[in-house]
Amino acid sequence: MYNRNCPLCNKDLIYKLKSGLLRAERKQTICRNCSQLEQKKSESYSERNEKISKSRKEYFKNIDKEEHQRQIDKFSEGIRNTYENKSDDWKEEWKKTCSRTSKEKWSDPSYKEKVSEKIKNNNWSKRSDKEDIIQRGILTKIEKYGKSNGLGKCIQFLVNGLVCDGTHEKFYIEWLLSEDEDIPVGVNSIKTDIGFYTPDFEFDEYYVDVKSIFTLKVLLGFSSYSKTKKSNPKQLLKIKYINDNIKPIKIILVDITKNQLVELSINNILKLKENEINKNIFKLF
């Protein structure tokens, strides 16, 4: 047996014949792991991987979920069995190789940038088209199941092509339709000096925020969602800012159980006392 070290990682390489050793020294060949790393740095490797990735995605699109999961389980089991059947020495050597190659990859600034960009693109919350992604997901669920849980606890409905967050917004839009009134449109987030705020709906001349008796109390600071989640005074400040500087906001107070609603201005709600916000409020306006 003849030995030499890999010029890149210093790993011990073994040759059966002296001619093999001499040829390797003459060509300055490297070990298999280093060779694979060098290939991965090449443009042709990246192009090849992209082609494979695209073809695999197309393939998995055309098979059902059960077959997809079966293939994943089979692949995982094969890797697990291969690793478990290896000797302890091989496993230790493999761990060292993984550690070394990982350090080499992360020492390359271009690799860091590539991974960062990939994570950013996969994480919809950091993408510039975040709002579009959310709306597409919500609409897909509504079209498929008739409703969506959206990103929070309230259920979302599609009424006359308009996404409604919760039963109170749904009741309001259905009431407008039954009364043959104009229908509002959805609203994107509005930037204020205090932060972003998103009214529920928008008409040409004003915005609309739909509230229940409870959520109106929370908005005015008379109540909170839970012991751990207190009401946020910034929400009211944002509404006041939009009302004073951009366009009026009307508060639509809804009582679903009694099929009632009332329209309130911001000045109206600011004058309310806590004991006035109850079922009788619908008689006051």
- Whole-number pLDDT of residue 53: 82
The angle that helices 88-106 and 109-122 make with each other, rounded to 10 degrees, is 90
Residue, of 134 and 68, whose pLDDT is higher: 68
Q: CA of 182: how far to CAs of 1, 176, 177, 202, in Å? A: 89, 7, 8, 11
* 256-271 pLDDT, tens digit each: 888 889 999 999 999 9
- Residue 139 near residue 132, CB atoms below 8 Å: no
The answer, yes or no, to whether residue 1 has pLDDT greater than 90, is: no
Q: Which helix (H) or strand (E) holds 1?
A: none
pLDDT at 149: 56
**Residue type (1 letter), 83:** Y
More confident residue, 152 or 62: 62
Query: How far is Cα 246 from Cα 266, in angstroms, rounded to an integer?
Result: 14
Average pLDDT rounded to a whole number, residues 116-123: 73
Domain boundaries, the chain: 2-126, 130-284
Closest to 253 (Cα-Cα) out of 272, 229, 237, 235: 272
Q: Is the pTM of this model over 0.85?
A: no
Give residue 151's pLDDT band: very low, low, confident or very high (50, 70, 90). low
Say if residue 59's pLDDT is above 80: yes
Q: At 173, is the pLDDT very low, low, confident or very high (cuts 50, 70, 90)?
A: very high
**The pLDDT of residue 154:** 64
